[in-house]
C-alpha cells in the first residue's frame, strides 16, 4: 500500500475537551487574540469556555467579535490589525467555518504586517502566527484542513487559499457546541460535509487512506441527514455527535482531495442569491453523482452502498435541497461562465468538466421560460 498522508493538526475531541485540554494553549504563547462572531459562539457556551481555559492557563486574551458569515477579506484584515495591536502571540478562532477560515487568514496576515490583503492569495513571506480552533458547527471540516475561503469585498466573490500555513496547531472538537444550531443551519452544514465527502470520493487523490476516511464520514452524515429529512425537529445529542464526527472525517477527505465542480458552482448561489454554502454546493450533487456513475461506476456503486443505496441517496438529496428561488437569465449565465475556464475543481471531476458544460447545467437548473 503506497500513500502520502500529512495531517499536522493536534485534535482534542469530546465533551469538555477545551476546558480539559486548554493548558495545551500555553505552547502557543502568552497573549492571544480570540477571533469570533457576533453571538453564536457565546450562545453555545464555546466562547465562555475558551476565555475560562485561557484564564486558567495564565494567557492574556483580547476578543475580536467582528467576523460574519462568508467572511470578508476586510474583516480578516481587521482581525490581523487587532492581533498586532494587542501584540498577540497566537490566535484562537471560536466559531463555525466562517470564523475558522477568517482566523487562518488573519493569523497569516498579522505576521506579515500586510495592508494589501490580496497578497494572502499569492503567498506571504513570513509564516503565520500560530493559531488554534474551536469548532461550533458540523460541516466545514475547517478544523483539519489547510484551506480558507474568503469573500472579496469589492467583487463579492469567494476566493480560496490553500497552504500549509492554514493548518491549526490545535483543534478542539466538542460536539456540545453544535447543539444550539438551528434546523436550517444543521441541514446546510451537514450538506456541506456530504459535499466534501462525495466530491473528494471521486478525485484521483482519493487513495486507500482517504477512502477509509470517506467510509467513516458518509454513513454518519447520511444517517443524520436522513433523520432531518424524516423529522421536523432538531437532532438529539447523540445524532449531533455523529454529524460532527462525520464532518471531521469529511474534512480529512476535503483536505487531501479538494473539491470538484459543485463547490465553485455553488459559490455563485451564495454570493448572488443568498443560498447557504452547504445547500448551494448540494444543489449540484445530483448532477455530479450522475456524471460519476458514467465515468467511475465502481466508485459510484461503493458510494451508494455507504449511503443506503442509489435510490435512497438521490431521494435524500431531493427532499433536502431547497433553491427554488434561484432564477437567472441566459445573459447572467454567460457572465458567470467567464469565471470557470481552467478551474482545478473541473479537472478533478470524473471525466473532466468544462465551462460550457457548467453553463449548460446552470441553464437547465435556473433559466426558466
Could you tell me how far CA 359 lies from the centroid of its own chain? 25
**Alpha helix stretches (DSSP H) within 258-322:** 262-273, 277-282, 285-295, 297-306, 310-320
Q: Taking the chain, what is the end-to-end CA distance rounded to the nearest angstrom?
A: 53
CATH class of this structure's domain 183-366: mainly alpha
Q: Domain locations in the chain?
A: 10-177, 183-366
**Quick one: pLDDT at residue 115?**
76
**Quick one: pLDDT at residue 122?**
86
Q: What CA–CA distance (Å, rounded) separates 302 from 209? A: 15
Q: What CA–CA distance (Å, rounded) separates 23 from 58? A: 9
Q: What CA–CA distance (Å, rounded) separates 171 from 185? A: 21
Cell matching residue 1: 500500500
* pLDDT in 10s for each residue of the chain, 369 residues: 777 789 999 999 999 999 999 999 999 999 999 999 999 999 999 999 999 999 999 999 999 999 999 999 999 999 999 999 999 999 999 999 999 999 999 999 999 977 788 989 987 889 999 999 999 999 999 999 999 999 999 899 999 999 999 999 999 999 999 999 999 999 999 999 999 999 999 999 999 999 999 999 999 999 999 999 999 999 999 999 999 999 999 999 999 999 999 999 999 999 999 999 999 999 999 999 999 999 999 999 999 999 999 999 999 999 999 999 999 999 999 999 999 999 999 999 999 999 999 999 999 999 987
**Quick one: pLDDT at residue 71?**
96
**Quick one: pLDDT at residue 142?**
98
Backbone angles phi, psi at 141, to 5 degrees: 70, 15
95-132, pLDDT tens digit by residue? 999 999 999 999 999 999 777 889 899 878 899 999 99
User: How large is the angle between the packed helices 262-273 and 355-366, nearest 10 degrees?
Assistant: 50
CATH 3.40.50.1970 is right for the domain spanning 10-177: yes
**Quick one: pLDDT at residue 334?**
97
Contact 17, 49 (CB under 8 A): no
Amino acid at each position: 500500500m503506497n500513500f502520502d498522508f500529512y495531517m499536522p493538526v493536534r485534535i482534542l475531541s469530546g465533551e469538555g475537551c477545551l476546558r480539559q485540554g486548554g493548558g495545551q494553549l500555553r505552547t502557543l504563547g502568552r497573549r492571544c487574540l480570540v477571533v469570533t462572531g457576533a453571538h453564536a459562539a457565546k450562545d453555545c457556551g464555546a466562547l465562555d469556555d475558551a476565555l475560562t481555559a485561557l484564564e486558567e492557563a495564565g494567557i492574556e486574551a483580547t476578543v475580536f467579535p467582528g467576523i460574519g458569515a462568508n467572511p470578508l477579506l476586510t474583516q480578516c484584515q481587521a482581525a490581523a490589525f487587532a492581533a498586532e495591536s494587542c501584540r498577540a502571540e497566537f490566535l484562537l478562532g471560536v466559531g463555525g467555518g466562517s470564523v475558522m477560515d477568517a482566523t487562518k487568514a488573519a493569523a497569516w496576515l498579522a505576521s506579515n504586517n500586510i495592508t494589501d490583503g490580496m497578497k494572502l492569495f499569492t503567498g506571504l513571506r513570513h509564516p503565520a502566527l500560530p493559531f488554534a480552533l474551536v469548532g461550533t458547527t458540523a460541516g466545514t471540516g475547517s478544523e483539519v484542513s489547510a484551506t480558507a475561503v474568503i469573500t472579496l469585498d469589492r467583487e463579492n466573490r469567494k476566493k480560496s487559499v490553500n497552504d500549509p500555513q492554514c493548518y491549526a496547531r490545535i483543534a478542539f472538537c466538542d460536539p456540545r457546541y453544535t447543539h444550539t444550531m438551528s434546523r436550517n443551519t444543521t441541514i446546510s452544514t451537514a450538506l456541506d460535509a456530504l459535499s466534501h465527502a462525495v466530491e473528494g470520493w471521486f478525485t484521483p487523490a482519493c487513495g486507500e487512506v482517504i477512502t477509509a476516511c470517506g467510509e467513516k464520514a458518509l454513513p454518519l452524515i447520511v444517517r443524520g441527514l436522513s433523520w432531518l429529512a424524516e423529522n421536523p425537529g432538531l437532532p438529539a445529542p447523540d445524532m449531533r455527535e455523529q454529524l460532527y464526527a462525520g464532518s471531521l472525517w469529511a474534512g480529512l477527505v476535503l483536505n487531501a482531495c479538494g473539491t470538484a465542480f459543485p463547490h465553485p458552482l455553488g459559490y455563485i448561489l451564495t454570493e448572488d442569491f443568498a443560498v447557504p454554502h452547504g445547500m448551494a454546493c448540494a444543489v449540484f450533487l445530483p448532477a455530479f453523482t450522475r456524471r460519476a456513475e458514467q465515468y467511475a461506476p465502481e466508485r459510484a456503486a461503493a458510494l451508494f452502498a455507504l449511503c443506503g443505496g442509489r435510490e435512497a441517496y438521490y431521494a435524500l438529496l431531493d427532499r433536502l435541497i431547497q433553491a427554488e428561488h434561484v432564477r437567472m437569465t441566459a445573459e447572467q449565465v454567460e457572465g458567470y461562465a467567464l469565471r470557470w475556464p481552467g478551474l482545478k475543481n473541473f479537472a478533478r471531476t470524473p471525466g473532466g468538466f468544462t465551462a460550457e458544460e457548467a453553463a449548460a447545467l446552470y441553464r437547465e437548473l435556473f433559466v426558466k421560460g
